[in-house]
Amino acid sequence: MKHSRSDFPREFLFGVATSSYQIEGHRYGGAGPTHWDSFAATPGNVVRAENGDIACDHYHHWSDDLDLVADAGLNLYRFSTSWARVLPEGRGAPNPDGLDFYDRLVDGMLERGIKPAATLYHWELPQPLADKGGWRNGDIPKWFGEFTDVIMRRIGDRVWSAAPINEPWCVSWISHFQGVHAPGLRDIRATARAMHHVLVAHGTAIQAMRALGMSNLGGVFNFEYAEPSDESDAAKKAARRYDACYNRFFLSGVFHRCYPDEALQGLEPHLPDGWQEDFDVIAQPLDWCGLNYYTRKIISPEAGPWPSWREVDGPLPKTAMGWEIYPEGLEFFLRRTHEEYTKGLPLHVTENGMAAPDPIEAGAIEDAERIAFLDAHLTSVRKAIAAGVPVEAYFVWSLLDNYEWALGYAKRFGLVHVDFHSLQRTPKASYRALTEALAR
């Protein structure tokens, strides 16, 4: 890699990120059913109807996987806790094996000198709660607060950082408006409610963790740079609307106690009664803010119902996801988040990485494009730091090839290759390059 650890401030931390459903193997250890299992079982939702039953079987390989993190010289491991593994019914009696699993995992990190960065929810909702309307139900913040209390009473004394919900936009918009993720709805009213409830749940979980005496609490938000398709006012307005719904809505709720006008235009009639009163819960003070960043989208105006935009093809080189590679966007969002929302709060890049075909040839994977991708984005991080943005950590998505949601196992994001038949792990060239860069 072009960059070395010594190019960054002395206290800067490097990590890798994963999530429970994408790697653990949901069939093991007494986890309850989730809405991702039922979504994947419905034909047409997921490529080859693949699900997280076995995934990387991290449930049994966790110790070797933590060795991979430690051997690379990484400081941080970002993992998520499966609600249904801890509370198989979503509420009520905990599953002792589930609590033991996360207890072992956290101790395993500490034994190896890795700081645990916990995310409470990364998308697999217990099915009994999905049956009650899931994120559309105004009771979900209370249920989520209960889960937070149960899991953090067990591991909250030893995690380095914690965040309630991975990517509120994905939990609400991609799942209730685009229908691409569980529960697969295409309904503006469901979307508006989910967007709001996810933020109330975020605030409720922060309160629950403060009540347990925890610190270093944050939020993890995802960002896509919105580029107008042309110079017209209509295209610029469509891109601003996209930016408001995708990037600004959640930060605005948490840091400004309001929602952007361009988003409210379409969403306000569908928000739950009394939504204005919820900002006392939503806007809990945080200790850091996390940004997940992958790409930009080219936005074109479209006739038809709000939000009246459409994504069009762009000219830049693309990853295996079909996502344009646009490293400048990461610097843009780090600067804007700092200047307009978080002012001085530490920022963490909680996810960044790319999918590539990564064929295994003669036992090796030469993923030069991933090395170039990481280098280009680390350049953006360094520029933001040089401009005075307090970026304190950077996590690669992901440690392992894993279950890429609706795209199944074909999209490989890992620094480490996984053979999904033998479950054998093979470090890619990017893993070795990062290891070498971190030692310099």
Q: Footprint of ligand PNW on residues 348-377 (CB under 6 A)? A: 351
Q: By C-beta, is 166 or 252 nearer to ligand PNW?
A: 166
Cβ proximity of 140 and 184 under 8 Å = no
Could you tell me which of 65, 79, 81 has the C-alpha nearest to residue 116?
A: 79
Q: How far apart are CA 383 and CA 64, in angstroms?
A: 35
Q: How far is the CB of 155 from ligand PNW (least distance, A)?
A: 21
- Single out the residue of 191, 222, 337, 352 in contact with ligand PNW (rule: CB under 6 A): 222
Structure tokens that stand for 74 in this block: 């990484």
Beta strands, E only, 114-256 = 115-121, 161-165, 218-228
Q: How far apart are CA 173 and CA 187, in angstroms?
A: 10
Three-state DSSP at 432 gives helix
Cα 158 from chain centre: 21
Q: By C-beta, is 80 or 252 nearer to ligand PNW?
A: 80
- CA 222, 245, 384, 227 dihedral sign is positive
Is 328 marked within a binding site? no
Q: How far apart are CA 136 and CA 190, in angstroms?
A: 6
- Single out the residue of 50, 57, 167, 243 in contact with ligand PNW (rule: CB under 6 A): 167
Is 288 marked within a binding site? no
Is 294 marked within a binding site? yes
Is 404 marked within a binding site? yes
Please state, in angstroms and as integers, the Cα–Cα distance from residue 141 to each residue in 1, 212, 392, following that order.
Answer: 43, 17, 30
Phi-psi region of 397 (alpha: psi -120 to 50; beta: other; left: phi over 0): beta
Q: How far is the CB of 231 from ligand PNW (least distance, A)?
A: 25
Q: Does 309 bind ligand PNW (CB under 6 A)?
A: no
Three-state DSSP at 355 gives coil
Stretch that binds ligand PNW, among 136-144, 167-175, 270-278, 418-426 (CB under 6 A): 167-175
- Single out the residue of 19, 75, 172, 175 in contact with ligand PNW (rule: CB under 6 A): 19
- Single out the residue of 54, 114, 130, 170 in contact with ligand PNW (rule: CB under 6 A): 170
Q: H/E element holding 88?
A: none
Catalytic residue among 24, 50, 124, 167: 167
Cβ proximity of 366 and 314 under 8 Å = no
Q: How far is the CB of 7 from ligand PNW (least distance, A)?
A: 26
Q: How far is the CB of 165 from ligand PNW (least distance, A)?
A: 11
Q: By C-beta, is 160 or 169 nearer to ligand PNW?
A: 169
Find the Cα–Cα–Cα–Cα dihedral 154, 155, 156, 161, rounded to 10°.
-160
Query: Catalytic residue at 369?
Result: no
Query: Catalytic residue at 351?
Result: yes
Q: By C-beta, is 262 or 404 nearer to ligand PNW?
A: 404
Q: Does 21 bind ligand PNW (CB under 6 A)?
A: no
Residues flagged as binding site for substrate: 22, 122, 166, 294, 397, 404-405
Known catalytic residues are 167, 351
Binding site for ligand PNW (CB under 6 A): 19, 22, 166-167, 170, 174, 222, 292, 351, 397, 404, 413
